[in-house]
A and B are shown apart, each in its own frame.
Chain A
Amino acid sequence: MNWIKILGLPELASEHGKALDELTGYVHLLMLILFIGWVGYFIMVLLKFNRKSNPKADYVGVKSHLNTYLEVGVAVVEGVLLIGFAIPLWAKAVDYFPTAADNPIEVHIMAQQFAWNAHFAGPDGKWGKQDIQFAAATNPFGLDPNDADAKDDVVCLKEEFLVPVNRHVICKIGSMDVIHCFKLPAMRVTQDAVPGLSIPVHFKPTITNTYEIYCAQLCGNLHSGMKGSFKVVSQSEYDTWYAAKSKAGGGAGFE
């Protein structure tokens, strides 16, 4: 595992990220081997077959079939990386979500120019009703102010949110205006936020800390400043925050 540090990736803080980092390492190993092979051959050929060392060219050149074997070899290795690693890892990321038995935390993320909003169901576990007619700068999720289920919802308006460590987190990513991209480098999570769609991603944070949310898709003139953040904390710290946040705001912003 240690050799992968050479790649210079940021410190990993999610469970699934290990397999992705290892694959990145293997792919770069393959690239390095091919490149060293090419360049080694290249230098040798330039020394051996320049006009001075070899004044008369050979009409036929290479007669062996070594290159065919090498090309087949490259194809086979690519096939293994594809079928053995990339496809199953992708399937794990997009098809196999934590089930109710895993007791995941669900967060709805709404991107807007140029900030991130988060929405939790609140202690009752029921999501408040949403409608486009209520959508406004202070109510990015369009929560219905008259809906009882919405009263206890936790909404983090352009501010940091918390998730507990070592628990599955499912984020459903949406956008109010243009396409953004929800990127958590430390979690090895990236997902475009496309207006009109709600796209789920999941991860399981393993280290308590504060992490940055990048916007990785050009979204307008303040794109470079569209930083968000979230904290991975202990379960008890999360519970305290969640309860307080629910009481204080209840669907936030639209009292």
Chain B
Amino acid sequence: MANAKTTSHGTSADQAHDHHHYEPGFWSKYIFSTDHKVIGIQYGITALVFLLFGFILMLLMRQQLAKPNQPIPVIGPILEKVLGTDMVNSGVMQADLYNAFGAMHGTIMVFLAIVPLAFGAFGNFVTPLQIGAPDMAFPRLNMASYWFYFLGGVVMLSSFFIPGGAAKSGWTSYSPLASIADMAHWVDGQTLWLIGMVLLISSSLLGAVNFITTIIQLRARGMSWMRLPFFVWAQLVTGFLLLLAFPPLEAAGIMQLVDNLFGTSFFLPTGLVVNGSQLPVSGGGSPLLWQHLFWFLGHPEVYVLILPAMGIVCEIIANNTRKPIWGYRSLVYSVLCVGFLSFIVWAHHMYLTGMGTKISTFFQTTTMMISIPSVIILTALFISLWGGSIRMNTPMLFALAFLPMFGIGGLTGLPLGLNATDIYLHDSYYVIGHFHYVVAPGTIFGLFAGIYYWFPKATGRFMNETLGKIHFWGSLLFMNLVFAPMFIQGMKGMSRRMYDGGATYAGNASVLGLNTFISHAAIGLAVFQIPFIINFFMSIRSGKKISSDNPWEATTLEWSTPTPPPHGNFIKEPVVYRGPYEYSVPGAAKDFSPQDQQA
């Protein structure tokens, strides 16, 4: 205890000054920074803006679904001016724009909002701190990763404004539709989508290499593998998923790009007849090849979305139950299993492409297998609550809600993963409900929890608890009101991606009213994000100041740095003496024993 911690009482920015004389100017400090924390915050803010933008696209789509072919009040005429009458006519959203919004909602939420937030923002800001490193292994690659991402985002957004509008063939961009959806323009939205994806994938690959190297090479003395916080394990596995799953899609993206621009036929079969005339392409390609390459990334990508959130939730549960995580080792082995298995389940997205019994048996068996480690992770987190002394602060509320919400997402995956039950539910609203439960009240709640939890480390101030709780309860309620009715619609057989909300089909009549209900709930969900936005900006300037560098009384290394951590992070090289979650150790003076505290 004697020489422990200059930092556990009082902030220590003053000491930091003595140790770090590196004083970069504005541009290299905030814009072209190589500091992992600044890059993390850049990623975080950019991703939150995209998260809001993707959500607004969905609100406009929900308006169309609730009131098909009626003018959008206020925004309709503005969109008409900006995007042209092909897209919005007399204030009414056209089918092409609906499909473009649908494709871009998915693309933006997955590739520009959630992955950058989960991996780029939290991974960058927290990982080096938690392993006791002064920065990432390759700071310049890190900066390049952010700027590739930013550029990819700009390309994606600009595609709304070119003739023909943004890509409109779904975030999955299946060929041949992706190649023929807009034949009037040589360079169309799909072209920019593909270029944007190549940039985003390059960004992820740079990030992945960097994370893997950093975690393997830059751990502090004493930080053995089994002392790594689970969050770091989750980031490590995520890094491998990105590194190994993304290159096939990058290749496929370039192949589709040359299909669209230069007349090759990687994904176009012989004999396509569009509008009664034969398509002038050489043919001989396979549309299913695209699906295989897409889902080879697409499925691991699901775990790229979920694993970092699980890591965040694990940190926060340990901290706020004031006890160790139950079954830490089983968590680690499970996350490794999930990572490995996620590479061999992809074709369960393709059961209905004409798959025989042997292949589909393989893929549904692996799909059932991957549910086992997922159940173990979830169960371990549930069990960790037992015997705790649970503090109900805002980060903990989000982390707790993650468990049953992700549970619903996982459970509803069962009837989709079993091919026999998937026959009926495939491509229905049931699927939409399922993956949104995984990603929205699942992953996004985990990410919100992380924002509330690490905000004090980044800024030296807490976020407001009252606004945080309003944000939490409102989001929890309305998330469920948005997504639960989709299971009912899906069971009735309602298909996804319907411009008119499914009104064409008599079979949907009894569940059509739910479209309006869901749209109202989505507006409710939007309203309850306002407290978060206010809270976020208000707390930067006037939030309650923290009274120590370790305001949550946590055990992991990021809380042993000054606040906010200076360039280089630690005042002196940290040494690790124990596991990550040593809370309420019998006989210890306090109910938390930091990893770098000598016994």
Interface residues of A (CB under 8 A from B): 7-10, 20, 23-24, 27-28, 30-31, 34-35, 38-39, 41-42, 45-46, 49-51, 54-62, 67, 70-71, 74-75, 78-79, 81-82, 85-87, 89-91, 93-95, 112-113, 132, 135-138, 140, 176-179, 181, 183, 185-186, 188-192, 194-197, 199, 212, 214-225, 227
Q: Which residues on B sit within 8 Å (CB–CB) of A136?
A: 273, 276-277
In the bound complex, CA of A181 to CA of B496 (Å): 12
By beta carbon, the residue of chain A nearest B271 is A132
In the bound complex, CA of A178 to CA of B268 (Å): 9
Q: Which residues on A sit within 8 Å (CB–CB) of B500?
A: 224-225
Query: If A86-B421, A94-B355 touch, does A61 touch B386 (CB 8 Å cutoff)?
Result: yes
Q: Which residues on A sit within 8 Å (CB–CB) of B287?
A: 179, 194-196
A225 and B389 within 8 A (CB) = no
A82 and B418 within 8 A (CB) = yes
Q: Which residues on B sit within 8 Å (CB–CB) of A71?
A: 372, 375-376, 379
Q: Which residues on B sit within 8 Å (CB–CB) of A42?
A: 382, 385, 400, 403-404
A7 and B491 within 8 A (CB) = yes
By beta carbon, the residue of chain B nearest A223 is B497
Least CB distance, A118 to chain B, in whole angstroms = 17
Q: Which residues on A sit within 8 Å (CB–CB) of B361?
A: 87, 90
By beta carbon, the residue of chain A nearest B178 is A178
Q: Which residues on A sit within 8 Å (CB–CB) of B492?
A: 8-10
- The A interface, classified by DSSP as helix, strand, loop or mixed, is mixed
A188 and B389 within 8 A (CB) = no
A23 and B379 within 8 A (CB) = no
B426 and A216 within 8 A (CB) = yes
Q: Which residues on B sit within 8 Å (CB–CB) of A46?
A: 385, 390, 400
Q: Which of the segments B166-174, B190-198, B220-228, B246-254 contacts the partner chain? A: B166-174
Q: Which residues on A sit within 8 Å (CB–CB) of B505?
A: 212, 214, 227
Query: Chain B CB within 10 Å — which of A8, A35, A42, A46 has the most?
Result: A8
Query: If A10-B493, A54-B389, A61-B323 touch, does A95 touch B177 (CB 8 Å cutoff)?
Result: no
Asked if B553 is an interface residue, CB under 8 A from chain A, the answer is no
B375 and A57 within 8 A (CB) = no
In B178-225, the 8 Å CB interface with A consists of 180-181
In the bound complex, CA of A213 to CA of B322 (Å): 57
Q: Which of B387, B428, B488 is in CB contact (< 8 Å) with A216?
A: B428
Query: Chain A CB within 10 Å — which of B277, B425, B495 has the most?
Result: B495
The 7 closest A-B pairs by CB, nearest first: A137-B276, A196-B269, A58-B387, A185-B493, A89-B420, A199-B354, A57-B322
Least CB distance, A1 to chain B, in whole angstroms = 16
Asked if B3 is an interface residue, CB under 8 A from chain A, the answer is no
Query: If A7-B491, A113-B275 touch, does A221 touch B388 (CB 8 Å cutoff)?
Result: no
A51 and B391 within 8 A (CB) = yes
Query: Chain A CB within 10 Å — which of B174, B326, B356 has the most?
Result: B174
Bitwise interface map of B from 18 to 46 toward A, beta carbon under 8 Å scored 1, else 0: 00000000000000000000000000000
Q: Which residues on B sit within 8 Å (CB–CB) of A49?
A: 321, 385-390
B386 and A45 within 8 A (CB) = yes
In B506-524, the 8 Å CB interface with A consists of 506-507
Q: Which of B170, B357, B427 is in CB contact (< 8 Å) with A87?
A: B357
Least CB distance, A188 to chain B, in whole angstroms = 5
Q: Which residues on B sit within 8 Å (CB–CB) of A81?
A: 368, 418
Q: Which residues on B sit within 8 Å (CB–CB) of A8?
A: 488, 491-492
B180 and A178 within 8 A (CB) = yes
The interface on chain B, measured as residues whose beta carbon lies within 8 A of the other chain's beta carbons, has a size of: 98
By beta carbon, the residue of chain B nearest A87 is B361
Least CB distance, B414 to chain A, in whole angstroms = 5
Asked if B539 is an interface residue, CB under 8 A from chain A, the answer is no
A190 and B278 within 8 A (CB) = no
Asked if B333 is an interface residue, CB under 8 A from chain A, the answer is no
By beta carbon, the residue of chain A nearest B385 is A45
Query: If A10-B507, A188-B424, A216-B428 touch, does A57 touch B176 (CB 8 Å cutoff)?
Result: no
In B572-599, the 8 Å CB interface with A consists of 583-586, 591
A60 and B272 within 8 A (CB) = no
Q: Which of B278, B364, B504 is in CB contact (< 8 Å) with A225?
A: B504
Asked if B419 is an interface residue, CB under 8 A from chain A, the answer is yes
Q: Which of B94, B389, B412 is in CB contact (< 8 Å) with A31?
A: B412
A214 and B354 within 8 A (CB) = no
Least CB distance, B598 to chain A, in whole angstroms = 20
In B234-277, the 8 Å CB interface with A consists of 269-277
In the bound complex, CA of A82 to CA of B366 (Å): 11
Asked if B371 is an interface residue, CB under 8 A from chain A, the answer is yes
A38 and B407 within 8 A (CB) = yes
Query: 19 additional contacts, CB 8 Å, given A178-B174, A181-B427?
Result: A35-B404, A46-B385, A49-B386, A54-B387, A62-B383, A71-B379, A87-B357, A95-B357, A135-B278, A177-B176, A178-B176, A185-B493, A194-B354, A196-B286, A216-B427, A217-B427, A218-B102, A218-B169, A218-B174
B497 and A24 within 8 A (CB) = no
In the bound complex, CA of A144 to CA of B201 (Å): 48
A54 and B388 within 8 A (CB) = yes
Least CB distance, A183 to chain B, in whole angstroms = 7
B586 and A59 within 8 A (CB) = yes
A177 and B415 within 8 A (CB) = no
Asked if B411 is an interface residue, CB under 8 A from chain A, the answer is yes
Least CB distance, B87 to chain A, in whole angstroms = 11
Query: Chain B CB within 10 Å — which of A34, A55, A113, A195 has the most?
Result: A195
Query: Chain A CB within 10 Å — which of B355, B376, B411, B423 has the most?
Result: B423
Q: Which residues on A sit within 8 Å (CB–CB) of B364?
A: 82, 86-87
A195 and B586 within 8 A (CB) = no
By beta carbon, the residue of chain A nearest B283 is A196
In the bound complex, CA of A45 to CA of B386 (Å): 6
Q: Which residues on B sit within 8 Å (CB–CB) of A177?
A: 176, 180, 272-274, 279
